[in-house]
């Protein structure tokens, strides 16, 4: 008998619905019979405990059966320990706890004994200053409606307060939640009393016979809302904020039934989640997702990819089947545009109906404001009754919607799909040096065996700091808004849409990769699928026609997310089973090398004589391997480049490459790219064993930035930084040479010299740059160009006795702006050679400048040139001498 009981217990756990309940009851009965027949006391106690456990399970299953889940598939994937921790940590917002939904509350939750007080939610709600002026305390529904005991029977009162008709007229007044009220208005056909009302799984207590919510005797209500990764429990009491003005309200009301309170209770529960009645910002797509769990999608009506005919056909078909709820958002409008169009700037509207007449397409749109304006455009309200026009509803052609509104929000019935997978993860935003690539962005690989559509919903979990940012942004917006807004928005305050951008932007991108299903480091082409970057916490990526058995890499993209760390949920919806995994790296071995382009190592592109001073590395490949190099920088506007060349056989030890030839080039990232550059060996042509040199460069010499080089390979590699040509060199700086402006001698070449003395054979070079001018303390680049030529010469005078050993720039007769620095090649000079040839001189030539002297003499102000002598032995340097002109 006990064995049969265990068998039914296993089936109760493995099955669901009525089948699970049947097995649980049978198992409990068998355990009870076994306990009665057991002879040993310990056995009777053990079997009785099992009987009680199964009875408890049966009661839970009965509760679930009586309270259906919201429509749509549930994620059946087992969460990891880390994911469970993410979901639990996301339960606390604004000092309030919203635990993941477990079971519907039982009837006892809403019962009240005669000696018990009504339930009071201890949570605090915040109000804006304007709302606070009218706030007259929290009141129960009976107080608000002035209902005396016995004046109305309970059934009548419950019917008035809880039964919403399909034509109810919900409006906002003193609360800045047009998106919430627009959402409730648009979804009312799914929330009003009917057998499949969405409220039956979202609001408790609920009367399943009358298809509407019940009045709670205890004053407690429980809502099931979807946010921060799952459905969660939101508990409130029935007190609502009363107003000291008879003509103003602090909660949503139905103008056709002023006793209706469940929309106000749902609004209160939502505002508890969002921080208070001083609601700073959202959009109706987000609000409907939280309130109902229906999948949100935002379509930009002015986007290049928006297809008006396809959107109408898709929306109309789904709307007629009850599978979509639509709302609209306006862009920022001027006061003149608001008056001319009859539309409110940055405001959400409800779509109440849609139709086609004689080939024309129309939407019935509602403004949720209590005292609302209506559309004044062409064919505005021809077929709407006058009473409806007053109440803020109007017909508008779909073409006018596309022209005058900004966003179309579509919330889709999740029951359109049969499978769902939820993945939860955290993301610590990468350092600025690597943020210009996708290498540190969360990425998942999805694969289906069919071509059925796959929808991927990205949800960013709310954090307390975001609410503070929104409120700060709202205050700033109020200070900078026009007088028009202060008057027209007296009832509702700042538009929620106007401050949402303070939270940054995010989106999704879908790629096919090589190897298939691996991480994307830097996209070399546009993604196959992508969403716009949205300032919403939700964005939907649709793979409407995926190739069967093809892995797609889904990448989270972001811009200006202000916080250092976030948690997210990716929900995958489909009509067939999916395989979803975190995307692996394309290479099993990776190394990240940090570095900087400094004043001495920013050598510029290959056309620069200083190219060899760029940061370089020796790479030793022990066996054939694929090779990937990703270069990123903290200056996202800086054009950069990475290349790999064969190490010259004569280079021992290895050294930087002066100017790589096409013959020596193994791989190159191509054109200089801003912020990030990537190169990867072809799959069909792995890199062969040997030694190579990689060089990272900026396009222009002297551009300074930090960078990270990420090297990926199939096998471990030996990577060694190469010393710059200046490494180990002694540096001797000559006192600054100041070149003054001389407009009267613009065509004259002016020469300055400084004597260099060596005591033995010495290898040396010159580095010259324009520095801060002593008189103005301003960079040389802020004025006219500092055009010079610098050289190392034997002999003091011009003519046949003058020998140029090294010059920069190297082109004959060329002068170059030295703000980025000039470098000469290295030369060897013996002391006897210098003596015999008239001395060794550093020569600076300029055009149209007069001598300012050395040692910091200003000479009237202009450009200051600093020259350094780099050598392998000690040298002595004299002061600057004016040398006249050629």
| Last residue within a domain, chosen from 292, 317, 342 | 292
Question: Which residues pair with residue 625 across a beta bridge?
Answer: 687
Q: Do both 401 and 307 map to the same domain? A: yes
Instruction: Write out pLDDT tens, residues 469-498.
Output: 887 766 555 443 333 333 344 444 445 555
Q: pLDDT band at 386, cuts 50/70/90?
A: very low
Q: Do both 280 and 319 map to the same domain? A: no
User: Would residue 859 count as lying in a domain?
Assistant: yes
pLDDT averaged over every residue in the chain: 87
- List the single range of 45-49, 406-410, 436-440, 605-609 with lowest mean pLDDT: 605-609
Q: Do both 339 and 473 map to the same domain? A: no
DSSP 517: T
User: Would residue 343 count as lying in a domain?
Assistant: yes
Q: What percent of the chain has pLDDT over 90?
A: 61
Quote the number of domains for the chain.
6
Tokens of 790: 């610098």
Answer yes or no: is pLDDT of 378 > 80: no
Closest CA to 457 of 528, 506, 492: 506
**In this predicted structure, what is the pLDDT of residue 611?**
86
Residue 547 · residue 509 · CB < 8 Å:
no
Q: Which of 8, 23, 168, 178 is catalytic?
A: 178
Residue found under tokens 């002061």: 879
Q: Do both 284 and 299 map to the same domain? A: no
Answer yes or no: is pLDDT of 423 > 90: yes
Residue 410 · residue 299 · CB < 8 Å:
yes
Strand locations in 662-761 (E): 665-668, 673-674, 676-680, 690-698, 705-713, 718-721, 730-741, 749-758
**In this predicted structure, what is the pLDDT of residue 170?**
94
- List the single range of 84-93, 197-206, 602-611 with lowest mean pLDDT: 602-611
Contacts of 455 (CB under 8 A, 6+ apart): 295, 412, 417, 540, 541, 542, 543, 572, 573, 574
The span from the CA of 63 to the CA of 73, in Å, is 19
Letter string b/e over residues 586-610, b meaning 16 or more CB atoms within 10 A of that residue's CB: bbeeeeebebebeebbbbbbbebbb
**What phi, psi does 571 have (nearest 5°)?**
-110, 125
Answer yes or no: is pLDDT of 788 > 60: yes
Q: Which of 8, 347, 440, 538 is catalytic?
A: 347
Closest CA to 562 of 512, 511, 500: 500
- List the single range of 26-40, 323-337, 630-644, 726-740 with lowest mean pLDDT: 726-740
List the domain range (segments joined by +) for residue 764: 730-885
Residue found under tokens 């409407």: 544
| Last residue within a domain, chosen from 527, 547, 582 | 582
Q: Do both 575 and 617 map to the same domain? A: no
Q: Do both 549 and 495 map to the same domain? A: yes
User: Would residue 78 count as lying in a domain?
Assistant: no
The span from the CA of 753 to the CA of 720, in Å, is 40
367 catalytically annotated: yes
The span from the CA of 87 to the CA of 102, in Å, is 13
User: Would residue 77 count as lying in a domain?
Assistant: no
User: Would residue 325 count as lying in a domain?
Assistant: yes
User: Would residue 79 count as lying in a domain?
Assistant: no
Assessment of whether the complete model's pTM goes beyond 0.75 = yes
Q: Do both 744 and 678 map to the same domain? A: no
Q: Do both 61 and 104 map to the same domain? A: no
Q: What is the CATH number of the domain that holds 315?
A: 3.90.70.10
Q: What is the CATH number of the domain that holds 769?
A: 2.60.120
The span from the CA of 374 to the CA of 381, in Å, is 9
Answer yes or no: is pLDDT of 363 > 90: yes
Answer yes or no: is pLDDT of 21 > 90: no
Q: Do both 493 and 575 map to the same domain? A: yes
Q: pLDDT band at 387, cuts 50/70/90?
A: very low
Instruction: Write out pLDDT tens, residues 55-85.
Output: 888 877 777 776 788 999 999 899 999 999 9
Q: Do both 577 and 594 map to the same domain? A: no
User: Would residue 71 count as lying in a domain?
Assistant: no
The span from the CA of 565 to the CA of 577, in Å, is 32
Instruction: Write out pLDDT tens, residues 829-851.
Output: 999 999 988 899 999 988 764 44
Tokens of 310: 């396809």
Q: What angle do CA 784, 788, 790 make, to 5 degrees?
A: 155
Higher pLDDT, 514 or 410: 410
**In this predicted structure, what is the pLDDT of residue 658?**
64
The CA distances from residue 496 to 180, 300, 487, in Å, are 11, 18, 17
Stated as kind and residue range, the H or E segment containing 21 is helix 17-37
Answer yes or no: is pLDDT of 304 > 80: yes
589 catalytically annotated: no
**In this predicted structure, what is the pLDDT of residue 721?**
93
Q: Which of 67, 228, 283, 367 is catalytic?
A: 367
Answer yes or no: is pLDDT of 854 > 90: no
User: Would residue 74 count as lying in a domain?
Assistant: no
Instruction: Write out pLDDT tens, residues 621-631.
Output: 999 999 999 99
Instruction: Write out pLDDT tens, residues 511-561.
Output: 999 899 999 999 877 899 999 999 999 999 999 999 999 999 999 999 999
347 catalytically annotated: yes
Can you list the alpha helix ranges (DSSP code H) found in 692-779? none
- List the single range of 348-352, 728-732, 768-772 with lowest mean pLDDT: 768-772
Q: Do both 372 and 464 map to the same domain? A: no
Q: What is the CATH number of the domain that holds 444?
A: 2.60.120.380
Closest CA to 467 of 265, 282, 291: 282
Instruction: Write out pLDDT tens, residues 679-735.
Output: 999 888 899 999 999 999 999 988 999 999 999 999 999 999 998 767 778 989 999
Tokens of 613: 């001073």
Closest CA to 411 of 254, 182, 586: 182
Higher pLDDT, 352 or 497: 352
Residue found under tokens 């009754």: 385
Answer yes or no: is pLDDT of 41 > 60: yes
Peptide bond before residue 746 is cis, with ω within 30 degrees of 0: no
Instruction: Write out pLDDT tens, residues 398-409.
Output: 999 999 999 999
Residues 238-262 have a mean pLDDT of 93
| Last residue within a domain, chosen from 412, 432, 461 | 412
Higher pLDDT, 386 or 414: 414
Q: Do both 552 and 478 map to the same domain? A: yes
């Amino acid at each position: 008998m006990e064995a049969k009981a265990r068998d039914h217990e296993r089936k109760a756990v493995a099955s669901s619905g009525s089948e699970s309940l049947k097995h649980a009851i049978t198992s409990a009965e068998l355990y009870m019979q076994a306990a009665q027949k057991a002879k040993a006391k310990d056995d009777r106690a053990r079997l009785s405990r099992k009987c009680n456990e199964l009875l408890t399970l049966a009661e839970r299953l009965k509760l679930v059966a009586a309270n259906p889940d919201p429509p749509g598939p549930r994620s059946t994937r087992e969460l990891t320990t880390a994911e469970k921790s993410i979901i639990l940590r996301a339960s606390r917002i604004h000092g309030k706890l919203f635990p993941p939904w477990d079971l519907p509350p039982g009837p006892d939750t809403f019962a009240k004994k005669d000696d018990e007080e009504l339930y009071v939610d201890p949570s605090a709600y915040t109000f804006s200053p304007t709302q606070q002026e009218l706030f007259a305390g929290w009141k129960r529904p009976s107080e608000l409606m002035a209902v005396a005991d016995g004046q109305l029977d309970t059934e009548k009162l419950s019917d008035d307060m809880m039964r919403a008709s399909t034509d109810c007229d919900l409006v906002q007044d003193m609360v800045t939640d047009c998106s919430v009220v627009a959402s409730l208005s648009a979804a009312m056909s799914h929330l009003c009393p009917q057998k499949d009302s969405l409220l039956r799984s979202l609001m408790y207590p609920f009367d399943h016979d009358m298809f509407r919510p019940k009045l709670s005797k205890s004053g407690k209500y429980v809502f099931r809302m979807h946010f921060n990764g799952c459905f969660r429990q939101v508990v409130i009491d029935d007190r609502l904020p009363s107003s000291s003005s008879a003509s103003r309200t602090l909660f949503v009301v139905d103008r056709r039934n002023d006793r209706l309170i469940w929309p106000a209770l749902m609004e209160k529960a939502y505002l508890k989640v969002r921080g208070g009645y001083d609601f700073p910002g959202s959009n109706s797509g987000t609000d409907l997702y939280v309130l109902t769990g229906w999948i949100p999608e935002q379509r930009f009506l002015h986007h290049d990819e928006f297809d008006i005919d396809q959107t109408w056909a898709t929306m109309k078909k789904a709307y007629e089947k009850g599978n979509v709820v639509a709302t609209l958002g306006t862009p920022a409008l001027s006061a003149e545009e608001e008056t001319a169009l009859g539309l409110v700037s940055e405001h959400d509207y409800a779509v109440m109906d849609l139709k086609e007449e004689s080939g024309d397409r129309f939407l019935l749109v509602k403004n949720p404001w209590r005292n609302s304006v209506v559309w004044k455009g062409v064919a505005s309200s021809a077929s709407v009754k006058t009473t409806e026009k007053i109440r803020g509803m109007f017909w508008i052609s779909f073409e006018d919607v596309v022209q005058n509104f900004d966003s179309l929000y579509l919330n889709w019935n999740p029951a359109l799909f049969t499978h769902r997978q939820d993945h939860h993860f955290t993301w610590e935003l990468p350092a600025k040096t690597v943020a210009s690539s996708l290498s540190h962005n969360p990425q998942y690989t999805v694969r289906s065996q069919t071509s059925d559509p796959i929808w991927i919903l990205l949800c960013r979990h709310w954090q307390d700091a975001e609410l503070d940012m929104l409120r700060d942004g709202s205050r700033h917006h109020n200070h900078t808004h026009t007088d028009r807004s202060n008057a027209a928005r007296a009832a509702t305050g700042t538009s929620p849409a106007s401050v949402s951008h303070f939270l940054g932007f995010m989106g999704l991108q879908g790629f096919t990769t090589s190897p298939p299903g691996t991480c994307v480091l830097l996209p070399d082409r546009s993604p196959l699928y992508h969403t716009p970057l949205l300032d919403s916490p939700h964005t939907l990526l649709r793979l409407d026609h995926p190739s069967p058995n093809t892995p797609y890499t889904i990448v989270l993209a972001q811009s200006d997310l202000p916080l250092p760390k976030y948690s997210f949920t990716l929900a995958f919806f489909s009509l067939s089973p999916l395989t979803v995994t975190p995307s692996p790296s394309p290479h099993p071995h990776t190394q990240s090398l940090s570095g900087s382009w400094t004043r001495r190592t920013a050598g510029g592109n290959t056309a620069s004589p200083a190219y060899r001073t760029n940061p370089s590395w020796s790479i030793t490949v022990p066996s054939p391997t694929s090779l990937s190099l990703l270069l990123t920088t903290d200056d996202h506007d800086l054009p950069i480049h990475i290349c790999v060349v064969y190490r010259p056989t004569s280079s021992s030890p290895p050294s930087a490459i002066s100017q790589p030839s096409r013959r020596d080039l193994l791989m190159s990232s191509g054109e200089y790219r801003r912020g990030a550059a990537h190169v990867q060996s072809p799959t069909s042509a792995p890199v062969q064993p040997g030694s190579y040199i990689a060089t990272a460069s900026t396009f222009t010499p002297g551009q300074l930035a930090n960078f990270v080089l990420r090297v990926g390979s199939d096998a471990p590699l030996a990577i060694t930084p190469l010393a710059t040509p200046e490494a180990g060199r002694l540096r001797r700086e000559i006192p600054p040479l100041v070149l003054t402006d001389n407009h009267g001698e613009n065509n004259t070449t002016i020469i300055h010299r400084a004597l260099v003395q060596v005591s033995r054979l010495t290898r040396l070079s010159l580095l010259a740059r324009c520095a801060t001018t002593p008189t103005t303390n301003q960079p040389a680049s802020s004025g006219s160009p500092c055009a010079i030529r610098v050289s190392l010469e034997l002999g003091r005078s011009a003519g046949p006795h003058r020998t140029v050993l090294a010059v920069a720039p190297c082109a004959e007769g060329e002068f170059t702006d030295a703000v980025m620095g000039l470098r000469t090649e290295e030369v060897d000079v013996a002391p006897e050679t210098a003596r015999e040839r008239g001395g060794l001189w550093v020569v600076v030539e300029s055009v149209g400048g007069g001598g300012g002297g050395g040692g910091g003499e200003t000479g009237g102000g202009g450009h200051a040139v600093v020259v350094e002598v780099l050598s392998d032995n000690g040298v002595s340097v004299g002061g600057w001498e004016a040398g006249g002109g050629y």
